[in-house]
Structure 1
Amino acid sequence: MFLSFYGRDASAMQFIAAMELGRTEHGITDFTLVSPEGTRNHVQVGSAERLGKFTGRLPRQNLFGSLNHLFVYDKRLQEIDKPNRIGWVVSNVDAGIEEKVWALVKTLAPIALLDHWQGPLIAWCREKGAVHELGGGLYPRIGNLHALRVSISDHFIRHVSEGVRNRVLLP
């Protein structure tokens, strides 16, 4: 979903070009990432059309010479899917991530949500999988970047309505 790395300009562009070529032109269709602990993680590239790229050049006066910082990411990380009520929160720090998740829940929900409902509703969303952090199972997180998928369903709306009706969520 998201890859960030440093490299020489030619190497970074060669990597991007190889991903865009695909299998028929003998490009990269998969690669292996190695964590600092030495764990090997296999990555499938999939369709290169869904990938966004962003690059920045580091100052030449650094220890390693001329380096680029390249970000490769799934474009869905930037877009909110309003019809399906799905969005993503990507953050490199734990501080403030709950507020970002809450802001996205309020954006995706078709009903008004009061800020003092944040605690119980976010807890319910995490319990039911409406807020799900990526980085476990077959695809572990490497590094300190957190990605959370937020998906608001009709079940969430019914839960809020019942909470207000039963006076669990007070105005």
Structure 2
Amino acid sequence: MNTELPPAAPELLPIVELPGVFADALLRDERGGLLFCSLWGRDTAIQELLARLSVPVEEGGLRSLHVEGPQGTETVHFDRMPTTDKLSGRLPPKNLFGNLVQLWLYDRLAVEPDRANRRALLLQRNATHGEAALWHLVRSVTHLPLLDHWNEVVLDVFRQNDWIRPLRGIQVDAVFVDLGSDAVEVEISRLVREGRLTLDTDQPASLRQAA
């Protein structure tokens, strides 16, 4: 008999500025800027939100929202609208809640890395993504020819330098990858010179994991 309980449904969090619109997932950068949010509301309320995000503040536009989160009010800033995409879907017409729409607003980095600036965002569900997905993203962003058996050493060093850093949100987490610094190439060259990165796939673990 399976006694494992099903996962709890995400809590719907009210939006202060838009009565009737709720968030069930939210992710921001270190400055509070929007990276991802999932919103629910009736069609008219969602259309009002989209309209207010597209007009100047002096005309009633919005450049930030306040979400009543489990730890208090969370402010999310819409300061990168040119790089923000949207996707929406509707519940079937015959449902208990009426004309309900789900809207996703997300930074384009979540679906398409910025290879020119070597930046990317890996969305996660409660930090459940493995290292393989992160390593694949790092290799796709960097201009350096990284070998697969370097992954442990390289990811550790990138984390130490904050070129890879975790972001915690509500019902969604992420890893932000920023390899635009010239120091990235300098660091990889140093690891090669020290023998911590070699062509040998069977290099000793003591070399791969040396401090």
**Smaller-chain TM-score bracket:** 0.7 to 0.9
Q: Which runs of 5+ in 2 are unaligned?
A: 1-34, 200-211
The answer for the alignment partner of 2:185 in structure 1 is 157
> Looking at CA atoms only, which structure, 1 or 2, has the larger radius of gyration?
2
The answer for the alignment partner of 2:164 in structure 1 is 131
Deviating runs (4+, > 6 A) in structure 1? Answer: none
2:123 maps to which of 84, 90, 97 = 90
Please give the secondary structure, in 2, of the residue aligned with 1:17. Answer: helix
Please give the secondary structure, in 1, of the residue aligned with 2:170. Answer: coil
Quick one: structure 1 residues 129 and 65, their matched pair in 2 at CA, closer, same or farther if it must change by over 3 Å?
same
Quick one: structure 1 residues 163 and 95, their matched pair in 2 at CA, closer, same or farther if it must change by over 3 Å?
same
Is the contact made by 1:20 and 1:27 (CA closer than 8 Å) also made in structure 2? yes
Quick one: structure 1 residues 170 and 47, their matched pair in 2 at CA, closer, same or farther if it must change by over 3 Å?
closer
CA RMSD of aligned residues (A): 2.0
Counterpart-to-counterpart distance in 2, 1:49 and 1:163: 38
The answer for the alignment partner of 2:175 in structure 1 is 148
How do 1:35-114 residues align onto structure 2 when only pairs under 5 Å count? 35=69, 37-46=70-79, 48-114=81-147
Q: Which runs of 5+ in 1 are unaligned?
A: 136-140
Counterpart-to-counterpart distance in 2, 1:90 and 1:8: 26
Q: Deviations over 1:62-111 (max 9, x none)?
A: 43233211001223433322222112212225333422221111112222
Counterpart-to-counterpart distance in 1, 2:55 and 2:106: 17
The amino acid that maps onto 1:168 is R
TM-score, scaled relative to structure 2: 0.69
Identity of aligned residues (%): 28
Is the contact made by 2:115 and 2:142 (CA closer than 8 Å) also made in structure 1? no
Q: How many residues align?
A: 164
